[in-house]
Structure 1
Amino acid sequence: MPNISFTVDESNAGIRLDKFLSRRFPEKTRSYITKHIQAGHISVNGLSVKPGYAVHAGDRVAVDIPVKETQLKAAPIPLDIVHEDESILVVNKPPGLTVHPGNGTENDTLVNGLLHYTDKLAFYGQSNRPGIVHRLDKNTSGLLVIARNDEAHRFLQKQFDTRQIKRVYSTLVWGIPGESSGTIHNFINRSRKDPTKMRTTRDKGKEAVTHWRLIKEYLYFALLEVRLDTGRTHQIRVHMASIHHPVVGDPEYNGREKQLMRLPDNLRKRGAHLLKQLNRQFLHAGQLSFIHPLDKKEVTFNAPLPTDLATTCQHLKDWFLL
């Protein structure tokens, strides 16, 4: 049961307290929130108020709303902290680590590790995601910025909403694109056949923009630098598959054994070994730039390729060099 407190900003002034909290905690029903206001579990400026109280800019709201204990259980998960200050953390997430609890994963997530590492995390937004501003897929490695207070969370979230955050990924794809660079601009929606997967559409879903640039060519493979304007679920993986260059190792978007048929007979065994060694999609968020919440200056952080991806690159040099 976390103790959460935050200050009301100008944009929310005049809103009923119960409605304001419903926006902050969308996974909770209005009746659930009303019950806790009436029970005195939620106060404003240290005083008990009614659900219909109109909040003012500068009001300090203190909330003690229970969430599932398993969702917020601290766990001694090793973290690669790239940067730390009073406002943010920057973490280099390893592959295989889910960012936050949900969908059957309760304890072994980045959030559980963060709770073990620090008691200073923003609780702005969904209560099972303290500090989380953006996400990476479980088997995508790389940089994430974590908010340590609500003000930092709002400031960073606004940058994501206005596409000011700069994210650079490294990915290895099957085949060599016909151009040295390109942009994929369409919409991404959930798959009708499999709701755990995404698909591209021309006009339905969420707008998605991906810029890619060819870094190095190998026999039957290409290393790309990818930059995102938007951050949709599985965006890079879906977009690269949509132009017939799926991410190497991606089990969900046709990036594994089926692609071995691209290779000649004498290289197929080496390709199979490459996939066996990799065991995940070759996708790494290696650079992250944003305006820092404290001094309002742009900062940039970098993370090198992890061992499994660096090993894959060495195999490419040994076996598939042009």
Structure 2
Amino acid sequence: MKEITVSENEAGQRLDKLLTKYLNLAPKSFLYKMLRKKNITLNGSKADGSEKLVENDSIKLFLSEETIEKFTENRPVKILENDKRSLDIIYEDKHILLVNKPAGMLSQKASESDVSIVEHILSYMLEGKQITQDEMKSFRPSVCNRLDRNTSGLMAAGKTLLGLQTLSAMFRDRTADKYYLCLVMGRVENPSALEGFLVKDPETNMVSFSDREDGEASFVRTEYKPLKISRTEPFTTLLQVKLITGKTHQIRAHLASIGHPVVGDTKYGSREINEYFRKKYRLSHQLLHSHVLVFPKMDDEFSGISEKRFTAGLPKEFDRIVKGEF
């Protein structure tokens, strides 16, 4: 027999959902059969799986160790070497973690062998005993916003279920303000806003824009203002971009569509300008940085970030290029 005491991070979900996390190889039909036969009980009583769990609920599995082992796939998270140095933490409390992701690191793993910012966060929390391997069977901290692999800057992660749900809702409802810095080709003299409908090509993983809504197109809006224009040719402009919507490659593709691609962007950028910066600075990625995150008014549980502004400084390479060009 195995007993599971529902933790704070497990509360609020259905019993059957939690069971699929603990016995992740078991068919759902098996779980419901065990519930009907009272081989799985909730607080000593028969349950059907639809019950909403609360903290300290007791779930008992009257199953043999062999059966539990058979239906459980254990994939423990590895503690990464030198992990504290690899995480640039901007802010941390009980529920959330704000980190400055370096360019070149994935936001989330695309394959089993990948190591993303999420793995670094999990490793950091394991090493600091903020979470255990056993607790991660039913809940794993994760990021709530995504950045392209070669985009650097601020990312928000939920350390608890409440943190993850709250931040995810905030990004979904667009109640937080997100500002980016980027270096673009050409002279941008005036602030402006771009609107349109974005369409993604799944085969090329590229996006395009249209003035009219068509099929699965998503409405997007990007606001920008110039901060500095370079002193000499080839002219470039340092832009501050406010992301109103947040779609795949939105900033990169939107700016490229008006003739001002991000410097270093190999997908939407200019081959000539990229080659110039590669030769002069050995630049190998786009100069796009998630710079500022401004949170809305939030309840007392999140007083540490409520109506606060957080900034991630420019990476050394980006800063060196800005100083060299301006």
Band the TM-score falls in, shorter-chain normalisation: 0.7 to 0.9
Partner SS state of residue 295, structure 2? strand
Residues 74 and 114, structure 1, Cα contact 8 Å, conserved in 2 = no
1:303 to 304, 312, 324: 312
Task: Tell me the residue number matched to 1:81.
Answer: 89
Task: Tell me the residue number matched to 1:91.
Answer: 99
Within 1, Cα distance between the matches of 2:246 and 2:40? 36
Task: Tell me the residue number matched to 1:112.
Answer: 119
2:50 to 29, 49, 54: 54
Within 2, Cα distance between the matches of 1:44 and 1:105? 34
**Cα offset, 1:270, TM superposition:** 5.0
Scaled by the length of structure 1, the TM-score of the pair is: 0.74
**Cα offset, 1:163, TM superposition:** 0.8
- Between Structure 1 and Structure 2, whose CA radius of gyration is higher? 2
Residues 45 and 59, structure 1, Cα contact 8 Å, conserved in 2 = no
Task: Tell me the residue number matched to 2:217.
Answer: 205
Scaled by the length of structure 2, the TM-score of the pair is: 0.74
Residues 21 and 33, structure 1, Cα contact 8 Å, conserved in 2 = no
Change (3 A) 1:193 1:6: closer
**Cα offset, 1:111, TM superposition:** 1.3
Task: Tell me the residue number matched to 2:134.
Answer: none
Answering whether residue 239 of structure 2 is matched by residue 214 of structure 1, we say no
**Cα offset, 1:81, TM superposition:** 0.9
**Cα offset, 1:236, TM superposition:** 0.7
Change (3 A) 1:192 1:303: closer
2:153 to 142, 146, 151: 142
Residues 82 and 92, structure 1, Cα contact 8 Å, conserved in 2 = yes
The letter of the residue matching 1:92 is N
Residues 170 and 224, structure 1, Cα contact 8 Å, conserved in 2 = yes
The letter of the residue matching 1:248 is V
Residues 193 and 224, structure 2, Cα contact 8 Å, conserved in 1 = yes
Partner SS state of residue 139, structure 1? coil
The Cα offsets for residues 256-286 of structure 1, whole Å up to 9 and x where unpaired, read as 42447xxxxxxxx854524x52210000111
Q: How many residues align?
A: 286
**Cα offset, 1:17, TM superposition:** 5.2
The letter of the residue matching 2:206 is K
Change (3 A) 1:152 1:182: same
Answering whether residue 238 of structure 2 is matched by residue 223 of structure 1, we say yes
Answering whether residue 36 of structure 2 is matched by residue 8 of structure 1, we say no
Residues 44 and 58, structure 2, Cα contact 8 Å, conserved in 1 = no
Superposition CA RMSD, Å: 3.7
The Cα offsets for residues 70-94 of structure 1, whole Å up to 9 and x where unpaired, read as 8x44423411111111111110111
- Structure 2 gap segments, 5+ residues each: 1-5, 60-67, 132-137
Change (3 A) 1:54 1:272: closer
Identity percentage of aligned residues = 28
The Cα offsets for residues 119-162 of structure 1, whole Å up to 9 and x where unpaired, read as 447xxxxx897321111111111111111111111111111121
Within 1, Cα distance between the matches of 2:207 and 2:73? 30
Answering whether residue 191 of structure 2 is matched by residue 181 of structure 1, we say yes
